[in-house]
Amino acid sequence: MFMTEIFKNRIQIKFHQADPAGIMYFAQIFTLAHDSFELFIQKAGFTWTEWFQENKYLIPIRHAESDFQRPFLAGQFYEIEVTVAHFSTSSFQMQYTFKKNDVIHAVVKMIHTCLDKSSFQKINLPEDIKTRLSPFLKET
């Protein structure tokens, strides 16, 4: 039995991210998740430059979804738990669980697909990505 490593990030909802009622605008959740992803890949052993600028392939997000369970309030702090939900032949799914005091406020899932840089065709997920992300694979 293995233990999933969970990357955690703490954020505060800013005034400009909320509507006049002080509730975070729904689309902000994707920016917050991707900001956490940028920190996560460094924890997984990639440099920011290596992942975003020097890759031999492209790794765009092909699907993103969110499930809100409670509102996010401006000025409040939330913890984001980042894990890898699953691997497939050419992609991997990330999961971001947003919590406050251990209560889930939202879950975001994003699927990243690996593409050849010149043809934009799907390619197999490189082994170095799978190896570095595997410690964060969520137990099923």
Question: Nearest to residue 64, comparing CAs of 105, 106, 109, 31?
Answer: 109
For residue 62, tell me if it sits in a domain. yes
Q: What is the pLDDT of residue 56?
A: 87
Q: What is the pLDDT of residue 95?
A: 98
Count of domains forming the chain:
1
**Rounded to an integer, what distance in angstroms lies between the CA atom of residue 140 and that of residue 86?**
9
For residue 1, tell me if it sits in a domain. no
The answer to whether 57 touches 115, Cβ cutoff 8 Å, is yes
Q: What is the pLDDT of residue 107?
A: 98
For residue 25, tell me if it sits in a domain. yes
pTM for the model: 0.94
SS3 97: strand
For residue 129, tell me if it sits in a domain. yes
CATH of residue 103's domain is: 3.10.129.10
Give mean pLDDT in consecutive 10-residue pieces for the chain, a chain of 140 residues.
Answer: 83 95 96 97 94 90 98 98 96 98 98 95 95 89
For residue 14, tell me if it sits in a domain. yes
For residue 2, tell me if it sits in a domain. no
Task: Read off the pLDDT of residues 87-105 as tens digits, 9 standing for 90 and up.
Answer: 999 999 999 999 999 999 9
Q: What is the pLDDT of residue 112?
A: 98
Residue 40: give the domain boundaries.
7-136
Q: What is the pLDDT of residue 75?
A: 97
Report H helices in the chain: 28-43, 48-52, 127-133
Q: What is the pLDDT of residue 2?
A: 59
Helices (H) and strands (E) in the chain, counts: 3, 7
Q: What is the pLDDT of residue 4?
A: 83
For residue 61, tell me if it sits in a domain. yes
